[in-house]
Every structure is written in C-alpha cells, then in structure tokens.
Structure 1
C-alpha cells in the first residue's frame, strides 16, 4: 500500500527560515492545520468537529521546499504539491476531555470520511445509509474492542484496499475473541496463495540464472532468444541498509523496519530513491543489449509512487506528463497536481511487455498509468486492482490511526481508473479475484509454462 508522506515531513527552505511563515495555515484539501512559530511547527488533523495533533517538532529537522505567494503557502513533498491558506480558526478545544468517548471517536472518523472520501459514487456507496447503520451500534458503553470491530466491519463494506485502521495489539486480540464467538466455523477449503512465494517460483521457472536484490523485491535475468526479464515485487524496500539477501522474508523486513524506525520520513524517501536508482541502473546495464524486455509486476501490491516513476523513467527519453492527481476538497477537488516521468539519455526504447494482474495495485498502478504514454509498452495479463489514491493517514482522539482514499488520479487523457483498474492490451486472466488469477498462474507454472510470458514472446516475434 502507498502512504502519503503527510505534512509531518513539511519541507522547509532554510533561506526563508524565520518569521515569514509564522501563523496558522489551513490546507486546501487533506484536512490539515499547520501552525508555524519561528522554528517550531505543530501539525493537526481537523474536521468540523475535531482537531487532533498529528506531529510537532523543530523546523530545523525538516528540509527542502516551501514558498509563499500572496496568501498561499505551497509545500512540495516528492511529486505532491500541498496548498495552505492563512486561517484564524480555533478548533482544538473541541477535542478536549472527549478522547476516550466511543461515540465521539466514531463521529470524528465518520466526519473525516464525510469530508474527504473521494469514491462514494464510484463504489456505489450510500454513505448516509452506511453511517446510520454503524452509528446505531455505538453507545457510551461500547468497549474499545467493540468499537474497533464496528469500524473494521464498516471499512470492509467499502471494498477499498486503501482503507485501514491500526489499534494496539491488546485491542486486536480482544476483538478477535469477540469475532470468533459471533461467527460459525469457517468451512471454506480455499487455500490462500502467497504472492511472494509464487513470484519466486515464477522467476525460477523462467530463468536459469537469476540476479536479485533486497530479498527478492527485484529479480532479473535473460530468457532464451535474448529477451530480458525483470520482476519487481514491491515499490518499497530498495534502500541499502546493508541487510543480507540471504535472510528469509520475515527476518529481512524485521531488520528493514528496525532501520527505518530510526529515520525521518524524508530520510526514508531519499534512501528509497537512491536505492532504486542504483539497483535499476545495474539491471538496465545488464539488459541493455537484449532485443526486448518483459517487465513483470503481477505480484506487486505497491509502495511508493516515486519508486514507480523512477523505474519508468528508464524507458522514457524525455520528460513527460503522465497525468494529474487531485484531492477531495469541499464539494469538488483541489488544484490538479501534474505527475511527470523524467527522461533518460540511454532509455530502453525497444519493445517492453508489461505483465499485470489484479494484485498489481496502488503505486504499481502509477507505473502502469505512466506506461500508457510510452509507445513501446504492451500490457499483458489482467486488470490492475483499481486503488490509485494515496492513503490519507489520520489520528482519532483516542490515538488510533486510520486511512482512507481521498485523491483521484487521471491519466494524460483525463481517464479515471479507480475501482475498474487498467485493462491490459492482451487479456489473459478472466477471474475477478487475485486468488483466481494466482491459481491460473500456479497451474501454468506447475506445467512449466507461463502464458503471459509466452504471449509476450509471440508478440515480439511478430514484430
């Protein structure tokens, strides 16, 4: 899942350091209140009924780019532009002494959805009906684990992979006990397919010699007939923290998380950019003399948009705008922010066959979206999942964290692919579920085949 680097990593240009930006600033979209006083800041999540401190600190810890034009403050974070206007709203007092009230916490979450969720119509959701359905179950006597289950069930009804809620482990544990009491025993015989294991099996089936980095986040090699193969399984985890490739999956990510926990969001973003630039540079050097490439993102659930765009720039000769993004704001949307891919002087412009599936989601879909602007790309496989929006990450008064989708992404022609996903040029996977598509791939690999790869080779031979 991709995470919006919320304004807790506000970028500040030190040449403007001082009192220029002092005051209270209200974001245009995103529901943020930013207070700057000399070298300190406080960032708050607000709605019409609440205000919760998200983060605070010293501006000297924050870097890069902030500008003021007339009464509008512009903050740039990666590919994102955030606009703020001066405000004298005083709202945080409304939250005091209500932090533990289950009704108030539910109402704050509901009001956040009401003000910021962008896809009620797209997902055919009657928000008022849903709100009353779940609000009726909350009273002042509702326990923490009961409240968690109510919110969890409501979010599931959206069928949106970018919705989530994070609570302390003890609450999850108690909620699970309550849930097991309510449910009858699950008699389903469906076996979940691990996408990480399947990705490894696919690469081993295709390649005699496999190069890999970051515990299998990326694998590459050369197929017969001099066709390059790149498998990218996440748009996150590329930073070089000296963690051995021989660690198993859980150990690798435990060590990776330990490293990132000591870093700021801006440091992590820089590490990711530098890491993917280094690795993809090595990959493209190895494969530059191939006559075509297969780029496999069938098992990639997302991560960081900038990682996707950095990868895609290796297949593009000059800077191009691939689309725009906007956040829900009042009854419309915030100012469109253009999304660009950079050009490369040694770009790979020979045929590229992009393999996708229902599991290709979030930041991975930004790569697929950008490929629509590149004439040498052909998409093969299945529809992508259709969850493009960054996650708007918020805090409730009781300290719980949750996320929702508040942005729309449009391609260079103005098309919105949320929910429906991006259709491949060659549709091979007809199942509407990830498990159904993965089962097809499993069956093929067990028979030493991979229909998507074979189709790519056929298309290349027809050129």
Structure 2
C-alpha cells in the first residue's frame, strides 16, 4: 500500500532541494561574465542575480534582453569556468567564464551609418552563424567579393536595403527575416492596364475555406481548442480519430472555454502571456498540451488508427511539438540531435530523447505533412520518423528546422538567420530538402495553389484522407 504521507514528504524535500540548489548557483554566479559557445552572444550577471544578455559582433555589443536570471534561464550545471543553462527549449546553452566582457559592451555604440561597415557586419554575422550555405548551394565568400564593390557605390538607404534583400533571396531560407523600415521596402509595380489581357476569374480559396470544408465534409463530432490551434473529431463513417494541429504555439490554458471563440481571443491571450516570465510561458504551454491531449484522447477513445494533420502548421515551439508527439509513442528513443554553427565550426552535439506520455495513444498513426509543414512542425515529423507505428502521407516538409537567431546591424536594422542544425539519430539533416513521406500526394509548393488544389470547381475533396480511409 502506498504511504501518501511519506510520498508527499519526499516531494516537498525534492522541491526544497531544487530551490536551494538554484539559490546556491545564483550566489556563485554573482558578478560574473560569460561568453556563449556559438550564437555570438555574451552574458553579464550582476550582484543581485540580474543579468544582461548581449548580441556581439566586430563593431558593437548591444543588450538583447535583461532581467532576473531565474525568470529567463534554468541553470543545468555550473563548473569553475563553464555554465550550462536552458532558456526553455530543448537546446542547452553553454557559456565560458571570462574576466570581463569586450570593452564595447560597457559603452554606448557609436552610430554606424556607413553602408560598407553595415555590409561587412551583415556578411560576418552570417559567416559566423548561418549553418546551411552548403545545403542552399551558396558560396558566401563569393557573395562578399561580388557585392562589396557594389556597396561602395551605394548612395541611399533604399539602394542598400534592396541589395540586402537581393542577397537574402539567394539563400532562400524561410527563417530569414530582414526588418527594414517600411518606407524603404520595394513595392511591386502594377502592370499598365493596356498590358493586362482579359482572363477568366480565378477562384481563390483561403486557409479558412479549406479548414471549414474539411470539417464539414469529413468530420463527425468536431471540437477545437484555443481558437483552433488544435481541432479533433472522427472521420465520417469510421472509428478513426482525426487531430489537426495548426500551430506549435498557443496551447496555454489562459482563456476560458466560453471565450476561446470570441473575436478578442488572440489579443487577450497575448496580453496574459506577455505578463508571464519567459520560463513560465514554456511551462504554461506544457501544461496546456497535457490538459488538452488528455481530453482529446478521452473524446476519441482508443481505436486501431488515428490521423494527425500537420499540413497547415508553420511551426512554433519545439517543446510543444515534442510534447504533443509524446502522446503517440510508446517507448523512449533518441529521436534527434542538435548543434549550432560557430565561427570555428559548430558546438558540441546535443542528443534529445523523447519520453512517452502516460496513457498515450497506442494504435497506428497516419501523419499528413506538406510543403507548408515547417519549423517546429518539422521537428515533430523528424522525431516521428523514428517510430514504425507512425506512417506518413502527403508531401515533403518545408526544410526549415532551426530556431530563429535574431541579430542587428549597426544602423539598427534587425534580421534573423538559421544557426542550429537538427539531425536524425544517424546525423542526417533535412534542411532545404524537407522530410519525405511514404506515400506522395504531390502537393504544390505555392500556398495558394495548395489551397486551391483541394477543389474541383466548388467541390471539396481531401485525397489524402480519402486514401487513408480506404486502408
């Protein structure tokens, strides 16, 4: 017989031990300085365990975020000269102790409006951190040699912005962003009316059209959570469950069920989320996934097979993706590995082992993916590929796995890049190519064509679900 009083006492002791360990770490970290392995970032921890986290490059050191250390990082281990912390995801950050941060971190950065200097920082940042020039078939040194002479002739911010956008298009990575002022963005010029030839009107179907027609035409007893971040039901005329996951973010149980479908949901959700410390936000997502997955599996019940649809999922948090997947596997496995690009090569490889959830689904799973399945949704797919009970149908995923690393030019323009390489347990990466499927549906890569592909005239048909229902 379980002695619950003793068990409760043990839990209290463990909680107390963890809290004391965190406090002891924080005492040892007071007034220390650290350089991060990869990421071109550094960290200063003050005398009250407040921190400042910096982006650094060859000309500037700028604070990225600051606050209370325990609200932003979980301390994993601390040695004399090595600090390992987790920011909430599946990748731990490794820091090396230094006596002092670069001197430029303690003084204001001088404005740098030179186009040449900004270009060199832009090129250097990608050179140090971008992980996929080989996969994207781009010679980055050649880019420098080609564009530096052009930079020296540039006379306006608009010309400089257009040039950077031109370079980024050569890379073709969906995780790259360049936040330039709206006034400098090039807008498409409409063709002259005389050049437009009359054509038959093209019906443009939207994502909402597809999701509504899919639910109306294929599902019985349909439900959704948090304004449709996840939906579920049973395929008509079958006992097969169906789960559509539209995002890998937004699972926290902040909003009551009666208010989840109201117009102000997103605004209210984001307001509550913003009030929470960063690490608590990850915990909120985790608890939300647990709560809703237990409800979904209770609604669907155990059956011989079930469908998970990620065709409309552009990503989010990898922690959410892997937590969701844990409800459809029955054994612990090494499902993926991660490393980050550095100026010298890469950080040490970190292995991730997926643990199955309690009372998860035990039948066969059909996973549907497509060219719009991206980022954290691809991490779900990558990990799922290690389980033989999960069969895939649809088309290759987008091929953009990395976390987004944000940087800033000396002129203040922010940009992002992909610096982390996700690999299967054998070390293979699917960056740029995407994860293939067992049964190919040949979905078009263009988003509008993809949505329109569900329709013949006004008739909606989901050929992937039709194929699965035949099995």
User: Shorter chain as normaliser: what TM range?
Assistant: 0.7 to 0.9
After superposition, the CA RMSD in angstroms is 2.7
Name which one, 1 or 2, has greater alpha-carbon Rg.
Answer: 2
Runs of at least 5 residues in structure 1 that lack an aligned partner in the other structure? 1-11
1:455 aligned partner: 467
Q: Specify which of 376, 383, 387 is matched with residue 396 of structure 2.
A: 383
- Is 1:220 the counterpart of 2:232 in the alignment? yes
Q: Specify which of 125, 137, 148 is matched with residue 124 of structure 1.
A: 137
Report the 3-state secondary structure (helix = DSSP H, G, I; strand = E; otherwise coil) of the residue aligned with 1:18: helix
Report the 3-state secondary structure (helix = DSSP H, G, I; strand = E; otherwise coil) of the residue aligned with 1:160: coil
1:9 aligned partner: none
Q: Specify which of 415, 438, 455 is matched with residue 425 of structure 1.
A: 438
Report the 3-state secondary structure (helix = DSSP H, G, I; strand = E; otherwise coil) of the residue aligned with 2:453: helix
Task: Please say if residues 105 and 398 of structure 1, whose CA atoms lie closer than 8 Å, have aligned partners that are also in contact.
Answer: yes
Task: Please say if residues 408 and 416 of structure 1, whose CA atoms lie closer than 8 Å, have aligned partners that are also in contact.
Answer: yes
Q: Specify which of 253, 257, 261 is matched with residue 246 of structure 1.
A: 261
CA positional deviation for 1:260: 2.9
2:55 aligned partner: 45
CA positional deviation for 1:42: 1.7
2:179 aligned partner: 166
- Is 1:86 the counterpart of 2:97 in the alignment? yes
Deviation readout 1:247-276 (Å, 9 max, x if unpaired): 34xx43333333333333223222222212
Query: Equivalences for 1:368-447 in 2 at 5 Å?
Result: 368-429=381-442, 431-443=444-456, 446-447=458-459
- Is 1:302 the counterpart of 2:309 in the alignment? no
Which is further off, 353-362 or 50-59? 50-59
The separation in 1 between residues aligned to 2:415 and 2:104, in whole angstroms, is 19
- Is 1:65 the counterpart of 2:78 in the alignment? no
Deviation readout 1:399-458 (Å, 9 max, x if unpaired): 3322100111111222211111111110012534444433322349x4343110121122
Report the 3-state secondary structure (helix = DSSP H, G, I; strand = E; otherwise coil) of the residue aligned with 1:26: strand
Task: Please say if residues 317 and 345 of structure 1, whose CA atoms lie closer than 8 Å, have aligned partners that are also in contact.
Answer: no
1:208 aligned partner: 220
The separation in 1 between residues aligned to 2:323 and 2:196, in whole angstroms, is 45
TM-score w.r.t. length of structure 1? 0.86
TM-score w.r.t. length of structure 2? 0.85
- Is 1:55 the counterpart of 2:65 in the alignment? yes
1:280 aligned partner: 293
Task: Please say if residues 372 and 445 of structure 2, whose CA atoms lie closer than 8 Å, have aligned partners that are also in contact.
Answer: no
Task: Please say if residues 103 and 140 of structure 1, whose CA atoms lie closer than 8 Å, have aligned partners that are also in contact.
Answer: no
Task: Please say if residues 14 and 63 of structure 1, whose CA atoms lie closer than 8 Å, have aligned partners that are also in contact.
Answer: no
The separation in 2 between residues aligned to 1:268 and 1:400, in whole angstroms, is 28
2:17 aligned partner: none
Task: Please say if residues 317 and 346 of structure 1, whose CA atoms lie closer than 8 Å, have aligned partners that are also in contact.
Answer: no
The separation in 1 between residues aligned to 2:196 and 2:322, in whole angstroms, is 43
Task: Please say if residues 355 and 381 of structure 1, whose CA atoms lie closer than 8 Å, have aligned partners that are also in contact.
Answer: yes
Which is further off, 235-244 or 307-316? 235-244
Number of residue equivalences: 439
Report the 3-state secondary structure (helix = DSSP H, G, I; strand = E; otherwise coil) of the residue aligned with 1:346: coil
CA positional deviation for 1:372: 0.9
Runs of at least 5 residues in structure 2 that lack an aligned partner in the other structure? 1-20
Task: Please say if residues 52 and 397 of structure 1, whose CA atoms lie closer than 8 Å, have aligned partners that are also in contact.
Answer: no
Task: Please say if residues 73 and 85 of structure 2, whose CA atoms lie closer than 8 Å, have aligned partners that are also in contact.
Answer: no
Change (3 A) 1:402 1:194: farther
2:18 aligned partner: none
Task: Please say if residues 302 and 363 of structure 1, whose CA atoms lie closer than 8 Å, have aligned partners that are also in contact.
Answer: yes
The separation in 1 between residues aligned to 2:22 and 2:147, in whole angstroms, is 45
